Amino acid sequence: MSIEAILVEAAIKAVKQLYNTDITDKQVQVQNTKPEFEGDLTIVVFPLLKISKKSPEETAKDLGEAIQNSSPEISAFNVVKGFLNLSVSEKYWLNAFKNLNNTLPLPNPNSKILMVEYSSPNTNKPLHLGHARNIFLGHSVAEILKAAGNKVIKTQIINDRGIHICKSMLAWMKWGNGETPQSTNEKGDHFVGRYYVLFEQYYKKEQQALIAEGMSEKDAKTKAALFQEASNLLRQWEAGDAKTVELWKTMNNWVYEGFDTTYKKFGVDFEKIYYESQTYILGKKIVEEGLAKGVFFKKDDGSVWIDLTADGLDEKLLLRSDGTSVYITQDIGTAVDRYNDYKLDGIVYTVMNEQDYHFKVLFLILKKLGYSFWEGLFHLSYGMVELPSGRMKTREGTVVDADDLIDEMIATSAQSTAEKGKLDELSSEEKNDVIRKIAIGALKYYMVKVDPKRSMLFNPEESIDFNGHTGPFIQYIYVRTRSLLRKIENQDLSWSIETISAKEKDLIKKITDFPNAIKEAAKLHSPAIIANYCYDLAKDYSAFWSDHQILKAEDNNIKNFRVVLSKSVGDTLAQGMNLLGIEMPERM
């Protein structure tokens, strides 16, 4: 039983003994004691004042005395206003460390079947910086939910149909002259993305010419010849025109090959991939059924809508007047398809906060259609990520290409490690592997250490600071623990001690709190909790390392204890960083 559970149980008994009142565990608030106060854990007594009918200080004092008398784990307590700060005995911490079992996944009697969607790119351009944060957040959340004892399916929905890919197709038909990624020695997603940019350039010129002739900007966008041709191509695709479908398959496959290369560099994977070209058909069918039931309505031009004004939202288009579907139609079909495939308890959609409204509408529509699984749907909304001006190359305006980002990170990592001379003794192959792990680790950590809801500024050089709040700092502390273990390989590490220092206790507290960090991160869908947990543990170990002799400790028992403690710190750091998708080098 964890110390938190012990305290909750003791507090419930104390309230019954003191005030002859039964309370539940939800009424006992236990939190870590703030660093400025003495103690390990704190009970907030304000919720109990109606029961005690005493002041906060008196209630806390009564509760503290009762808990200390009944719980040998508590060595002392103090009261600060309405907060009862409890000190846990060294004996408890040593026993907790001896019996430590942080094996993942954690036992979970309420295990769920969950799906986490991330990446979900369009097939008209390469993955970019925004995708990087999306991918790292989604992949981390999936791993954290899995570690918390759930069954998790990692997925993406590829936006492989619609006007966007038709624009790239049309541009290639007009100006491609039969070239391919192979003939141009170009990565497939970059190749197709180049034609999308080309379309937009010519399309913009057409709009400007129409506006110069007196047409409104709104009309110019739809009346431009290129847009008309792209729209017609989309209609041909939806009608199953063989030539159009064949080109669509060819260009999408070029893109998929490019995506797969980038995913491998990022170290992420998917168990199931959905394609909008397949799910939009189900979405249209569901909309037709909803129309018959009166959930949706049809306007005079034949377009299909839902009226959500009574729910504080707007009217939402589901089918255009020409019968073609929109994104939300496809998302309806995808959600139902996924539920039918796995009988899911929940889906986590990793999508930027600019789509907050979209997901409110989607979830509400599914509810109105009568799908009970809508209650398990969650939008992991995250903020924008930006770069300092001029830091990296760009391919499309201000969009930073993911492959350029990786190359730049590896170059920065190589320069940083070369300056420190830490890898001079490694072979070229080993050195390149370490540089890659540092680079990708730095990138991932910097992206996920910030609360997902917040926008962030990504600074490549700062992310590889070995002394900062970074992935490489945590990797370096891990390597320090492995280096220590190599020096005493095959030695007997049995130990028996009765007292520990404050810094040793801090490390044990932090290690035993790892399962709680996982549960909290899973509950809040926030990899930042694990990232900051790892940083705090690494920082505590660095302080311990500076203040304590380990291999030269005055007593063999103490030496062995500190070596085992160091190993446990390293193991926990590796587990935590693995949940973030970060590999740990053994040397650096």
Distance, CA of 297 to CA of 291 (rounded, Å): 6
Q: pLDDT band at residue 47, thresholds of 50, 70 and 90?
A: very high
* Banded model confidence at residue 340, pLDDT cuts 50, 70, 90: very high
pLDDT in tens, 139-192: 999 999 999 999 999 999 998 988 889 999 999 999 999 999 999 999 999 999
The string of DSSP codes covering 79-98 is: EETTEEEEEEPHHHHHHHHH
Q: pLDDT confidence of 392, banded at 50, 70, 90?
A: very low
Residue 477 · residue 406 · CB < 8 Å: no
pLDDT of the residue at 106 = 97
* CA 69 – CA 5 distance, rounded (Å): 17
- Tokens representing 325 are 């579907």
Averaged pLDDT, 189-203: 95
Rounded Cα distance between 356 and 155, Å, is 20
Quote the mean pLDDT of the chain. Answer: 94
Which carries the bigger pLDDT value, residue 573 or residue 395? 573
Contact assessment for residue 11 and residue 67, using Cβ atoms and an 8 Å cutoff: yes
Query: Per-residue pLDDT for 396 more than 70?
Result: no
Domain ranges of the chain: 3-88
Q: What are the b/e assignments for 157-176, b being 16+ CB within 10 Å? A: bbbbbbebbbbbbbbbeeeb
For 76-109, what is each residue's pLDDT tens digit?
Answer: 999 998 899 999 999 999 999 999 999 999 999 9
Q: Are 251 and 196 in contact (CB under 8 A)?
A: no
Q: What confidence score (pLDDT) does residue 389 get?
A: 61
d(C-alpha 535, C-alpha 432), whole Å: 25
Range in 255-259, 323-327, 553-557, 568-572 with the lowest mean pLDDT: 323-327
pTM: 0.92
Is the Cβ–Cβ distance between 215 and 152 less than 8 Å? no
Name the region of 244 (left: φ>0; alpha: ψ -120 to 50; beta: rest): alpha
Q: Which fold has domain 3-88?
A: Gyrase A; domain 2 (3.30.1360)
Q: What is the pLDDT of residue 394?
A: 36
- Give the count of beta carbons closer than 10 Å to the beta carbon of residue 521: 26
pLDDT band for position 521 (cuts 50, 70, 90): very high
Give yes or no for residue 395 having a pLDDT over 70: no
What are 306's strand-pairing partners?
A: 316
Q: Can you tell me which residue has the tokens 């729209």?
A: 231
Give the model's pLDDT for residue 419. Answer: 84
